[in-house]
Amino acid sequence: MEIVQELQLETTEKNSSKDRTSVFHQHQLKKQTMLKRYRKWFCVSVYIIFLLAGQSAAVLLGRLYFDKGGNSKWMSTFVQSAGFPVLLPLLFYFSSSSPQSKSNNNNKDSFKNTKPKVSSLILLYIGFGLLLTGDNLMYSYGLLYLPVSTYSLLCATQLAFNALFSYFLNSQKFTAFIFNSIVLLTISASLLAINSDSSESSGIPRGKYIIGFLCTVFASAVFSLYLSLMQLSFDKVIKRKTFSSILGMQIYPSFVATSGCVVGLFASGEWKTLHNEMQSYQKGSVSYVMTLVWIAVTWQVFSIGMIGLILEVSSLFSNLISTLSLPIVPVLAVFFFHDKFSGVKAVALLLAIWGFISYIYQHYLDDQKAKADKSDDAVEASKGEVEVC
């Protein structure tokens, strides 16, 4: 009888020990999950700040360049990608401290298996660089021929285009809120297209206004395609979530795009006018150079934020955060460039903000659903562990 009691006591102690171990593991797993989540959203917050600050400053400085005497479309395109050398020290630092040099042999083997081919990366960088060159050139035309407020509001169409490309390339699901966002942003852009007062109030000829409008819309479409293809490349080709991969995806295509701009600058003959342009710049030659330098730097800050959000979340989310500059840039343009903010622009801005909030709410619903699914999986896993014990 005593032997039976001792066996029962040992069994109880073993089960109790297993339960304590299971609870400890669950607590550790929950703690690690929370730390990963906090780290992720800290990175996302930093990338959001980079994107918004870089984009707002770059657009305003680009408008300043044209307003004070700058007229070279290829120079404006050139500085959008030419700032990549400021990122080279970061690339060398993060490449030298990559996970490959700190992991064990098993992790090294796994890392090598997921490392993309050099030939694939070269083709990827060249393709993205050429796409970026054409896109930046169209944006330069838009910024030259449009007021900042109109230009910024037209860029809202990026979200609609990106939703379409994400559906086909990134398996993005369409919902009623996303569809509502697309419709509202399309109407917002259409209001600007038929607003004849925009070109007259800014002193821009009707023909040039139409060219600027079309170039900005096409540039938004190409940029949206660029974002979706970049997300697809991270998922299918690069397969690594490191800061060095973000820097590489920014630096190497920017080098290709800058080279293409140099060719365009000399082929178009605009290089001959740069000296006179600098001398006749209203704020002086030093201000001319510094304006171009800071345009180049701020576009790189924007690009790091943009690519970081693509890697951490999605291309559609990155584009969504980019639309946050819509209410920022036009307001700043009123103070810095004395742009007129007409009633039609106000309605277009409200529709754009409404479309933005609509998509934000959809992202909130998706996030809540993901949390609920993870919670259900954790409950089922804990039940399974108790049954095994």
365-385 exposure pattern, b = at least 16 Cβ within 10 A, e = fewer: eeeeeeeeeeeeeeeeeeeeb
User: How far is 153 from 330, CA to CA, in rounded Å?
Assistant: 8
57, 294 contact by CB (below 8 A)? yes
91, 247 contact by CB (below 8 A)? yes
Query: Please, what sign has the CA dihedral across residues 349, 358, 187, 159?
Result: positive
**Per-residue pLDDT of the chain in tens (389 residues, 90 and over written 9):** 556 555 555 666 555 655 556 666 666 666 677 777 778 778 888 998 999 899 989 988 988 898 888 989 899 999 999 999 999 988 888 877 655 444 444 444 444 446 778 888 899 999 999 999 999 999 989 888 888 777 877 887 787 788 888 888 888 777 788 788 778 877 777 776 666 444 444 567 888 888 999 999 999 999 999 989 998 998 888 888 788 888 899 999 999 999 999 999 999 899 999 999 999 999 899 999 999 999 999 999 999 999 988 888 888 788 878 877 766 776 777 777 777 777 777 787 788 788 778 877 876 787 777 767 666 665 555 555 444 33
Fill in the DSSP letter of residue 172: P
What is the residue range of 364's domain? 44-94+116-371
Judging by beta carbons within 10 Å of its beta carbon (0-12, 13-18, 19+), is residue 12 exposed, middle or buried?
Answer: exposed
Upper half-sphere CA count for residue 316 (Cβ side, 13 Å): 23
Residue at 337 is within a domain: yes
Residue at 25 is within a domain: no
Using alpha carbons, select from 37, 57, 42, 126 the residue that is nearest to residue 303.
Answer: 57
**Number of structural domains the chain divides into:** 1
Interior angle at CA 86, CA 49 and CA 253, nearest 5: 85
156, 355 contact by CB (below 8 A)? yes
Residue 302: partners with Cβ closer than 8 Å, 6 or more residues away: 50, 51, 53, 54, 55, 58
Residue at 336 is within a domain: yes
- Token digits of residue 357: 């909030």
The structure's pTM equals 0.75
User: How far is 5 from 152, CA to CA, in rounded Å?
Assistant: 79
Residue at 6 is within a domain: no
Residue at 120 is within a domain: yes
Angle between helix 243-267 and 88-96 (nearest 10): 150
pLDDT tens, residue by residue, 74-126: 999 999 999 999 999 888 888 776 554 444 444 444 444 467 788 888 999 99
Residue at 101 is within a domain: no
**What is 93-126 written as a DSSP string?**
HHHHT-HHHHS-HHHHHHHHHHPPPHHHHHHHHH
User: How far is 164 from 174, CA to CA, in rounded Å?
Assistant: 9
227, 322 contact by CB (below 8 A)? no
Residue at 23 is within a domain: no
Residue at 17 is within a domain: no
